[in-house]
Amino acid sequence: MIFPSSPSTTASESGIAINSAGTNSPINVSFQKALGSLPSILNPLLDEIIAVYEPQYEEVEGVFIDPDIDIKINYNSVRVYAEEIRDQSGYMSLIEEILDCIDNETPKAKNKFLWAINKKYKDCKKKLFIEMNIDTSDKAAVREAICANADKIITDVSKDIIKHSVGHINSTIELIEAAQELIVCYGFINCQILEKPE
């Protein structure tokens, strides 16, 4: 498997290099050497997330939809995370391979993982609606609230999804954050975070 890399950006040790060059100085995370270490942290992290949410898991019928990434970004008015999601979408096969391995040993683990991400999204969304006093029967108000707070919702899900799962994982903060970003991107692409385009 070949991953894209930035020739002008290097990372020291097992760190993550930051490239802030270019138009409007966007900050892009370049995984470099961290890529080789990500599977070693993703595997136990995904296992832990599945284990944490196992008691609450409720099987949902239907196939997970993967719409065009840009369509979903625009539909939900994602701004701050838009480029990051586009950039990291190329690394999703890494999570897929690890989830497939876990799923082979523990049937339905992949569905449980996606369900856990979606549950965390719904929890964050409910909290937002309470804070904003949104009438959830008012579909227009609901959509407006989600679009106005899409990046905040992604941030909240990102923080919450691994909160109870990293205690037993021995790794650097940078590597945990890189894995966290991939997990959230995976949830977004698989329509478990934010709304499916209509």
Half-sphere exposure of 98 (CA within 13 A, CB side): 20
**pLDDT (0 to 100) of residue 130:** 98
Q: CA quadruple 4, 117, 71, 76: dihedral positive or negative?
A: negative
Per DSSP, 90 falls in state G
Domain assignment present for residue 32? The answer is: no
In-domain check, residue 100: yes
Q: What percent of the chain has pLDDT over 70?
A: 71
Q: Specify the range with the lowest mean pLDDT, choosing from 57-61, 108-112, 155-159, 164-168.
A: 57-61
Per this entry, what is the length of the chain? 198
Domain presence at residue 160 = yes
Here the tokens at position 198 are: 């209509």
**Any domain includes 27:** no
Q: Which domain holds residue 70?
A: 39-57+64-189
pLDDT, tens digit, 9 for 90 and up, residues 137-180? 999 999 999 999 999 999 999 988 878 776 667 777 878 888 88
Predicted TM-score of the model (pTM) = 0.69
Is 14 part of any domain?
no
**Domain tally, the chain:** 1
| Residue 31, pLDDT above cutoff 50 | no
Spatial contact of 185 and 92, defined as CB atoms under 8 Å apart? yes
